[in-house]
Structure 1
Amino acid sequence: MKVFRSPARHGYSVEVSPFLPNRLACAASQYYGITGCGTLLVLDQTESEVQLVRSWQWGDGLFDVAWSEVNEHVLAAGGGDGSLQLWDTANQDAPLRVAKEHTQEVYAVDWSQTRGENLIVSGSWDRTAKVWDPTLSRSLATLRGHEGVVYSTIWSPHIPGCFASVSGDGTLRVWDVKAAACRLAIPAHKTEILSCDWCKYDKNIVATGSVDCSVCVWDLRNVRQPVSQLLGHTYAIRRVKFSPFSQTVLASCSYDFTVRFWDYSRNQPLLDTVEHHTEFVCGLDFNLHIPNQVVDCSWDETVKIYTPACLTAGLHGATR
C-alpha cells in the first residue's frame, strides 16, 4: 500500500495515465467540495512512495478528471463553476483552455478511447451532457433527455461516437453523438445513479452504481432486468469500474468508506471488501499497465495505491 496525503483537499476522482504506468491524476476540493477551491494533483508512484509531480489550483471545486488518450501530458477536469479545463503537465501554470457552457457543476468528464476519434464528454448538474473536441472552443453537441443531475458520462471503449450516462432521474442512457440522440433509456434504479462504466471486453455490458447501495450489471440487448445485482454496500455507491484484465470483475467504492471487488459470474460475487479509508471513497481506477493494481481517493485527504489480494489469487486471469 502506498499513500499520498493531500491536507485540506478531499479527493473526488482519480485516474491512472493511459501512457505512463506510474502516473496518476486526482481531482480534489476544499471543504468537501461544498465551498472553496479545487486542486488538480499529478502524482508519480515510485517503488516505495507516491510523489507530487505538480498541482494546480482552481477557483471552485474539481469533481472529475480524465487523461487525454492521445497526448501523455494533457488532462481535462470538471469544475463546480460549470467549467471544463484542459491542463498540460509539461509547462503550463494556467489551463491550456477553459470552456464554460454548462450552467451548473460539471461532475463528469471522460476522454474517448476508440480509434480515429478524439472527443471529450462532460456531464453536469444542469441535466445536460456535452461533447467537445480538444480545442474546447465550443461544444459539438449538447444532449438533453435526463430529468435530473447527470453524475457520470463514460465513452464506449468499443463503439465510436457512443457514450453512456446516468443521472439523478434513475436512468441509464446510451447516446449516439452523430445523431445527437438517446438510443436507449433504461430505468436502471429507483433512486439516483451516481456512476456507470462499460465492460472492456463486451460492448453490450454496462454497470451502474446507485444511492440504493446496489451495483447492477446490464446487457444492453435485453434490459428488462439486470444480468446481476451486486449487494453489500451499506451507503450510496459513488463509482464503479470494470477491470481491464478480467471480463467479469469490477470494483465499486462507496460513502460507506469501503471499496468492494466483485466477479458477477460467480454465485457469491463479492470477492473482497477493502476498508482502509475513514471517509467517503469517491474516486477509483484500475491501472491499465500494472495488472490488478488499484488506485482510490477519499474525502479523508488520501490517495491510496494497492493490489487487492483477491485479484492476485490466480482466479482472475484475463478472460475473453
Structure 2
Amino acid sequence: MSLQIKGRHGYSVEFSPYFQHRFACASSQYYGIAGNGTLFIIDQTQNGLVPTVVFDWNDGLFDVTWAENNENVLVTASGDGGIVVWDASQPRGPIKAYKEHTKEVYSVHWSQTRNENFVLSGSWDKLIKLWDISQTQSLATFSGHEYIVYSVRWSPHIPGCFASASGDQTLRIWDVRKPEFPSNVIPAHNAEILTCDWSKYDQNIVFTGSVDCLIKGWDIRNSRGPICQLRGHQYAVRRIKTSPFSKDLLLSCSYDFTVRTWEITHSAPLETIEHHTEFVYGIDHNLHNPGQIVDCGWDEMIKVYNTKSLLSGVR
C-alpha cells in the first residue's frame, strides 16, 4: 500500500505499539530546509492508507516517537529547537511544546523500560536532553558530543541507559544518573554516524549506520572492534531498525533510494527494495505483524509492505 503526502517530505515513521493498523509519519516542507512540518497519523484500511489525524507545525518535523503508556500520545522533533507533544484524541493542536535546544532537534525517543513519561532529544546543538512530559522543563542535559547528535535510543533492556550517534564519528553510551560523562565512547566510523539502534535480544549489542555506507555492530563490553560489518548501500545509511522478532535481522534505509534487509551473520543484504525515487529517511517494523514494514522518503511517498526475507528469518 502507498500514500502520497503532497508537498511534504517524509523524515520518520513509527508503528503504534498499541494498534497493528496504525503508524505515524513526521514530515517537512521543502526537504526540511524551510517551511512547515506535518505529523500524519495513518491507518491501514480496506481502502488503503488513510490519514485519520493530521497535525501541522510551524517548522519542519524530523522524528516521531509514540508514548509507551498512552495510545494517543506522540512526541515529535522540530526544526525550531523544540520537542512537541501531541494527543491524537485532541486533534486541535499540540498539548505541550518545549524549546530548550538552540538548533534543530533531529531525534526523539520514548523510554522503553520505564512506565514513566521519559523522552530523549538529540539536537544539532550537540546536546542531548532528558524530559518528563509531566514537567515544565528538561530534567538533565548530556554534553560531550563535538558535532550534531543525529540519533538517541533508549536501551530496551537496561533502565536509564541510552545510546547516541553523532557527526563526530562516535557512538556513546550514557547512564541518566551520570549526565556529566558517557559510560562508553566508541569511535565507531571514520565518517558521520547518522543512526543507531539496540538489539532487542542482547542488552550489550548496538548497531550504527554511517555516511561511509556501512552498518556496524558493537558489543559495548568490548568495543575495540565491531562484531559485524554490513556492506551494500551505495550512499549514507540514514536509519537502521533492529528486528523485534529475530536477534539476527536488521532493516536499513539510505540516501541511495533503497531499503535493505540484513542477517547480521552475513555481510551482504538479504533483500534490496527499490521503490522510492528519492532519499529514504524513515523505516519501522510492525510489532504486531512480523515481516511488515513501513518507510517514507523525500519523494513524498509512504509505503507499507511485507518482506519475505524478514518473515522467513523470524525464529
TM range (shorter): over 0.9
Give, in whole Å, the separation in 1 of the partners of 2:115 and 2:300: 38
Asked whether the 8 Å contact 2:68–2:115 carries over to 1, the reply is: no
Partner of 1:231: 231
Aligned residue identity for 1:317: V
Partner of 1:241: 241
Give, in whole Å, the separation in 2 of the partners of 1:31 and 1:251: 27
**How large is the Cα RMSD of the aligned pairs?**
1.0
Asked whether the 8 Å contact 1:117–1:160 carries over to 2, the reply is: no
* 1:229 partner SS: strand
Give, in whole Å, the separation in 1 of the partners of 2:90 and 2:34: 29
Which sits farther off after the overlay, 175-184 or 77-86?
A: 175-184
Aligned residue identity for 1:96: I
Partner of 1:203: 203
* 1:311 partner SS: helix
Asked whether the 8 Å contact 1:64–1:108 carries over to 2, the reply is: yes
Asked whether the 8 Å contact 1:74–1:89 carries over to 2, the reply is: yes
Asked whether the 8 Å contact 2:69–2:116 carries over to 1, the reply is: no
Give, in whole Å, the separation in 2 of the partners of 1:98 and 1:212: 35
Give, in whole Å, the separation in 2 of the partners of 1:288 and 1:260: 18
* 2:31 partner SS: helix
| 1:136 CA displacement | 4.9
| 1:269 CA displacement | 4.1
Asked whether the 8 Å contact 2:230–2:264 carries over to 1, the reply is: yes
Structure 1 stretches (4+) deviating beyond 6 angstroms? none
Asked whether the 8 Å contact 1:286–1:292 carries over to 2, the reply is: yes
The 5 Å alignment of 1:152-301 reads 152-180=151-179, 181-266=181-266, 268-301=267-300
| 1:278 CA displacement | 0.2
Which sits farther off after the overlay, 290-299 or 40-49?
A: 40-49
| 1:88 CA displacement | 0.3
Asked whether the 8 Å contact 2:193–2:208 carries over to 1, the reply is: yes
Asked whether the 8 Å contact 1:263–1:270 carries over to 2, the reply is: yes
Asked whether the 8 Å contact 2:53–2:91 carries over to 1, the reply is: no
Give, in whole Å, the separation in 1 of the partners of 2:314 and 2:268: 16
Structure 2 spans left out of the alignment, 5+ residues? none
**TM-score normalised by L of structure 2:** 0.98
Aligned length: 314
Determine if the alignment matches structure 1 residue 68 to structure 2 residue 67: yes
Give, in whole Å, the separation in 1 of the partners of 2:10 and 2:96: 23
Which sits farther off after the overlay, 182-191 or 302-311?
A: 302-311
Aligned residue identity for 1:311: L
| 1:4 CA displacement | 1.1
Partner of 1:305: 304
